[in-house]
Amino acid sequence: MTKTSYLFFTGKGGVGKTSLACATAVGLADSGKKVLLVSTDPASNLKDVLESSVEEHIKPINGINNLFAININPEFAAEAYRDRVAKPLEGNATHYEINKIREDLSGACTTEIASFDEFSRFVSNESEGDSFDVIIFDTAPTGHTLRLLELPAAWSSFTDENPEGASCLGPTSALQSGKERYHLVVDRLRNPELTTFYIVSRAEKVSLKEAARASQELKDLGMNNQQLFINGIYKALDQQDPLAIKMETMANEQLANIPNNLNTLPTKSFPLLPYNVLGIPKLRSLFNTELQKSISEKTISKTDTPAQILKGMDQLVNDLCLNDKNGLIMTMGKGGVGKTIAASAIAILLAKKGFEVLLTTTDPAAHIQDFIEQLGDIPPTLNIERIDPKIETKRYTEKILAHKGEGQSEEAKKLILEDLKSPCTEEVAVFHAFSKAISMSRRKFVVMDTAPTGHTLLLLDTAGSYHRDIMRNNLNASRMRTPYMAIQDPKLAKIILTSLPETTPMREAVSLQNDLKRAGNTPYAWLINQSISMLSGISDPLLRSRATMKLKLFKL
């Protein structure tokens, strides 16, 4: 068990951060430590995993001594943050201007900053932190958030005078009160005697790549005390099941090619289990192989053959082209859920039906090519357009920096540049590149990977008012159709919300759906990727057990 006072778990959604954070908390509490578990995850399922009430104030966990938990709602924290930013502007700005600023502050970056503001109080001992031996955080702040707080310009008068220069932070009046606390917290995060970072991953390429990026970002900030947890490693129980053998082979290949910067970290692996890790006994099993074996045997013995309850991809494609010969189809979801594969499969199936199709994607050519080669030749009616997010973001960043950085100090330019490293910037930049293809959707099917979030769409609308400017200044306005307007037309555009059959990705997809509805877009369909419950003929008992469990998630 760890010897530091602060433990941070970070990694992609759905890799098992919460389960491992909770299991570590239970183990430390069992050893006699007084432990506080803090979650700032917007899709938190702490109460499900701990099988105990977890609220926005510290409460003891049922069934175990010395363990307490609190769930900080990042959406509430972000709303309070927006209120602090907007209040000083009342009476000095129009209703439209205030709404614009609030929308600027509705992205993932603002939510992270607001969450950091909340959990930093525990590290600085302002919120009962000093009454616990160990505080465990599920989830760690990103490198982008931490770098923003490190920039001296973030604490200057720059953003007060130039509010458009930092859309993630907003006017610094909302942050000034925490300035000294943030510096103290960052110093403690750098101290290896006080803080340990657990980088959590699956034995999958995308997940390991994300873990490597997070690890390097933290190291660049001087946060070097890291360990790697690889979760859900699959070992086939039935050597006659071809799916089981294939899954084990693929996992082994990824483990043999772990990114170099992760190879240097102390590493612990955890097996894929036939049961959901819910409740104190099952959490204890993650670090207890005998208990793990006992629960696994009982679970597998009760497993029946899962029933198939979802329609397949072929039915989705049939529905998409039932009454249409053209349209815009957008796959959307969190990173690593299979948006690119979903978009590629939809495009190929439409093209095989004889429709003209343009697949426009941000995925590297090799990834798509690997997928398409498994299916045979590309249909002659399919064209593929690849957009490089890095190139598009660089162009967009240079353009904005030239505009907003003109006449500013070097420190101010650094803040603008750091702000432009946010996920929102890449989404907007890629959307600008995608927008060229959207106009073609009136003549053919355009399948877009990856669609912009509801927040990005609102930013494009409220910040630039692009389509309203065109409508106002064009004599043929009634015939004009901007990209934003096209996406809002349900007859033309259909959003396919993509997820994995895992608790966190499913809840994140629900959050994305709500985000889209806020922007006036309702998803056409959900596509659940890697759903082994849809497969027949599974003989491996562990996979059959997992398939049965996945069916329950479709009721989320």
Do residue 152 and residue 48 come from a single domain? yes
Cross-strand partners of 370: none
Task: Give yes or no for residue 483 having a pLDDT over 80.
Answer: no
pLDDT in tens, 272-294: 998 889 899 999 999 999 999 99
End-of-domain residue from the set 275, 301, 327:
301
| pLDDT value of position 151 | 61
Do residue 221 and residue 104 come from a single domain? yes
| pLDDT value of position 161 | 45
End-of-domain residue from the set 301, 323, 345:
301
Do residue 285 and residue 375 come from a single domain? no
End-of-domain residue from the set 247, 273, 301:
301
Mean pLDDT computed over 2-23: 89
Q: Are 158 and 38 in contact (CB under 8 A)?
A: no
* Alpha-carbon span 539 to 311, nearest angstrom: 22
End-to-end CA distance of the chain: 34
Do residue 267 and residue 384 come from a single domain? no
Do residue 153 and residue 281 come from a single domain? yes
What's the sign of the alpha-carbon dihedral 210, 215, 218, 220?
negative
* Residue 1 counted as domain residue: no
CATH number at residue 258: 3.40.50.300
SS3 assignment, position 290: helix
pLDDT in tens, 97-117: 787 777 777 766 677 777 787
Report the amino acid identity of residue 534: M
Q: Are 2 and 193 in contact (CB under 8 A)?
A: no
Block residue for tokens 């999958």: 204
Cross-strand partners of 67: 35
pTM equals 0.77
Q: Using 50, 70 and 90 to split pLDDT, how confident is the model at 412?
A: confident
Highest mean pLDDT, choosing among 82-96, 133-147, 242-256, 419-433? 242-256
Do residue 214 and residue 79 come from a single domain? yes
Do residue 60 and residue 100 come from a single domain? yes
* Alpha-carbon span 397 to 456, nearest angstrom: 16
Do residue 99 and residue 208 come from a single domain? yes
SS3 assignment, position 361: strand
Q: What average pLDDT does the structure give for the chain?
A: 81
Residues 6 or more apart whose Cβ sits within 8 Å of residue 29:
35, 64, 65, 66, 67
The mean-pLDDT minimum among 81-85, 402-406, 450-454, 510-514 falls in: 450-454
Cross-strand partners of 230: 201, 269
Mean pLDDT computed over 347-366: 87
The mean-pLDDT minimum among 371-380, 402-411, 437-446 falls in: 371-380
Write out the two tokens for 264. 């240097």
Distances (CA, A) of 380 to 49, 350, 351: 50, 12, 8
Q: List, by residue number, the catalytic residues.
A: 14, 16-19, 41, 504
Chain Cα centroid distance, residue 124? 27
Task: Give yes or no for residue 317 having a pLDDT over 90.
Answer: yes
| pLDDT value of position 102 | 78
* Alpha-carbon span 418 to 61, nearest angstrom: 40
* Residue 307 counted as domain residue: no
| pLDDT value of position 481 | 54
Distances (CA, A) of 365 to 232, 362, 370, 375, 509: 28, 9, 9, 16, 26
| pLDDT value of position 467 | 43
* Residue span of the structural domain in which 76 resides: 6-301
Task: Give yes or no for residue 193 having a pLDDT over 90.
Answer: yes
pLDDT in tens, 115-171: 787 888 888 887 776 889 999 998 777 776 776 666 655 554 433 444 444 445 554
Higher pLDDT, 457 or 199: 199
Do residue 273 and residue 144 come from a single domain? yes
Distances (CA, A) of 144 to 173, 191, 283: 20, 19, 32
SS3 assignment, position 429: helix
* Residue 308 counted as domain residue: no
Task: Give yes or no for residue 484 having a pLDDT over 90.
Answer: no
Residue 10 main-chain phi, psi, to 5 deg: -135, 155
